[in-house]
Amino acid sequence: MMRKPGVLVVHANDVLRRGLTDALARAGLHPIGAPSGLESVLWARSYCPDVILLALSMPILDGWQLIRLLHSDTRTMHIPVAALCEPGNIPDPRALRDEGFRAWAEEGAGPEQLEALVRRLLPPEYGRAG
C-alpha cells in the first residue's frame, strides 16, 4: 500500500495550523504541523514531506527567509513549497515565483481549495487525483 502524501504545515498561529492539518488529514493526506520557522527546517530535513505549506507572516523567521533556507539545503531544495498569505494580502505573484514558491493561497482558503493546491504539487507517483 502506498503511503499517504506528507504535508508539512508551517504556521505560528496554533488554531490556524491545527485547522489546516485537520482539513488535510480529512482529505487523506498526512499533515504534520510546525509552529516556528526553525522547527520547520528540522522537520523538513527529517520528515521529508512531499509538499510544504508555509505561512509568509511569522515571528523570527518569516516565510520569505524560510524558503531561502529550504532551497539552499540539498535535503529540502526539491520539496515544492506553497505560500499561505494573510487574507487580502497576497504579494505580487511574480515575487512569489521568483522566491521559489510554486503556489499560494489565502490562509482562510477552504479545505477543498487547499487539498487541490497540495495535490497539484505532489510528485507524479501520487498522480494528480491523489
Q: How far is C-alpha 33 from the chain's CA centre?
A: 10
Cα distances (Å, whole numbers) of residue 123 to 8, 12, 49, 119: 15, 27, 11, 9
Number of domains, the chain: 1
Is 90 part of a structural domain of the chain?
no
Is 15 part of a structural domain of the chain?
no
10 vs 2 pLDDT, higher one: 10
Is 30 part of a structural domain of the chain?
yes
For residue range 19-36, what is the model confidence (pLDDT) as tens digits?
999 999 999 999 999 998
pLDDT at 1 over 80: no
Is 122 part of a structural domain of the chain?
no
Question: Quick check: 55 and 43 in contact, CB under 8 A?
Answer: no
Structural domain including 4 reads 1-10+23-53+66-85+98-108
> What confidence score (pLDDT) does residue 128 get?
53
pLDDT at 129 over 70: no
> What confidence score (pLDDT) does residue 130 get?
43
Is 58 part of a structural domain of the chain?
no
Mean pLDDT of 97-121: 93
pLDDT at 68 over 70: yes
> What confidence score (pLDDT) does residue 73 get?
94
Across the chain, mean pLDDT equals: 91
Task: Say which CATH number the domain at 32 has.
Answer: 3.40.50.2300
Of 1-10, 37-46, 55-64, 103-112, minimum mean pLDDT range: 1-10
